[in-house]
Amino acid sequence: MKKGMVLLLMLVLVMGAAAQDKKVEAVTAAAEKLRVAMIDADSATLSSLADEQLSYGHSGGAVENKKEFVAKITSGRSDFVTIAITSQTVSVAGNTAIIRHLLEATTNDSGKPGAVKLQVMQVWHKAKGKWKLLARQAVKAS
């Protein structure tokens, strides 16, 4: 009887871990789509990934809503030529995920070449079966 209970418990733990892994994979894929859409200035993809309640914080202190975030990227005022993500961690709790990473990018904001190195935290939540970016905050990295 005890062996059966131990096996059942192990099975439940393995199934829970597999479900967690699928959530991590799905939110990581959404974050990668966001990275590519920011480089491509893809308005439709940016809009589909950003939650209506988006709070997008920049390292300089500015905070944008969804409309402002999408407009800034698609207008070229914030133009990412490249974005490299490293040191990424993902944690999921239910329908909420926190992604932290180092972002290094080359930029061409309003036609002015530059580079940024930022520590970023993103908060994603799952709504109607899709992961949406709810909040993002960046700070300058050394």
Q: What are the pLDDT digits (tens) for 5-49?
A: 666 655 555 555 455 689 999 999 999 999 999 999 999 999 999
Average pLDDT on 76-83 reads 97
Number of domains into which the chain is organized: 1
In contact, 37 and 45? CB cutoff 8 Å: yes
**CB-based contacts of 99-106 (< 8 A; 24+ apart in sequence):** 99/27, 99/28, 99/31, 99/124, 102/141, 103/138, 105/80, 105/81, 106/80, 106/81, 106/82
- Name the residue range of residue 65's domain: 2-140
CATH number at residue 63: 3.10.450.50
Which pLDDT belongs to residue 142? Answer: 83
85-106 confidence digits (pLDDT tens): 999 999 999 999 999 999 999 9
